[in-house]
Amino acid sequence: LILHQPLTLRRRKLEMRVSVLAVAGHEVATLDAEPSWTLDNVLMRIQKPKAASSLRLRIFHGELELLSSVSLASIGVTDGSQLTLVKIAAWSVLTASADRTARIWSADSGACLRTFVGHGDIINSAIFTPDSTLVVTASRDKTAKIWCVRSGNCLHTLSGHRKSLYVAEVSSDGTLVITTSADTYAMIWSITSGEFRQTLVGHRDSVFSAMFSPDAKLALTGAQD
């Protein structure tokens, strides 16, 4: 006589009880997981449906990370194992467009997270400050603008160039902006106040690029001359 176990019982034998803990140590969830589960399977069960978040979630078992291409079993997770949930800032992409807007996009979902509206012509460049709290744009409308990422508001408009701007670059300490223009000049500005600091004169044609030295004491420019 051969007895066949019900499918539900056989399935339960393949499952393992796994705890998911936050970095602080408190329990986030307890899952009846299958060894073949990947990161997507776990996140699907611990995230709230349709919850919008500016954070990216990572799962670790010890020093090994659970990825979309990696299973729980392959990183050594067994019945009774504990996983650690780590929350970090989500990866974002910043774009500048001929439609006079700049946009921030989620690198994970492709969703548009923020649109910056206010320039009067094509935006030629856009860049985050090092702490990602601000965005600086340079436009063909002869201005650069400093924007708050969280609110989308324009904090400062940098006016002084006489022709189209090509790029804006930010110093590594996030305190200064350098802009380049078809007017043959590069200009340096304060990010905090938006105040003009200095004009770099010497090129005889359009200045297309610029960058600060690591200590922001020097600036390098490149021009059509």
Residue recorded with tokens 């609110």:
151
Write down the pLDDT at residue 13.
Answer: 52
- The pTM assigned to this predicted structure is 0.69
Write down the pLDDT at residue 85.
Answer: 93
Write down the pLDDT at residue 52.
Answer: 52
Instruction: Measure Cα distances from 155 to 23, 40, 116, 135 in Å.
Output: 35, 38, 11, 10
Q: Edge-to-edge strand order for the sheet containing 176-181?
A: 165-170, 176-181, 186-190, 196-200
- pLDDT tens for each residue of the chain, 225 residues long: 444 455 444 445 568 999 999 988 899 999 999 999 999 999 999 887 655 556 788 899 999 999 999 999 999 999 999 999 998 877 889 999 999 999 999 887 889 999 999 999 999 999 999 988 999 999 999 999 999 999 999 999 999 999 999 999 999 999 999 999 999 999 999 999 999 999 999 999 999 999 999 999 999 999 999
HSE-CB for 51 with a 13 A CA cutoff: 12
- CA dist 121 and 212 (Å) reads 26
DSSP code, position 6: P
Residue recorded with tokens 């291409």:
69
- CA dist 102 and 122 (Å) reads 10
HSE-CB for 220 with a 13 A CA cutoff: 5
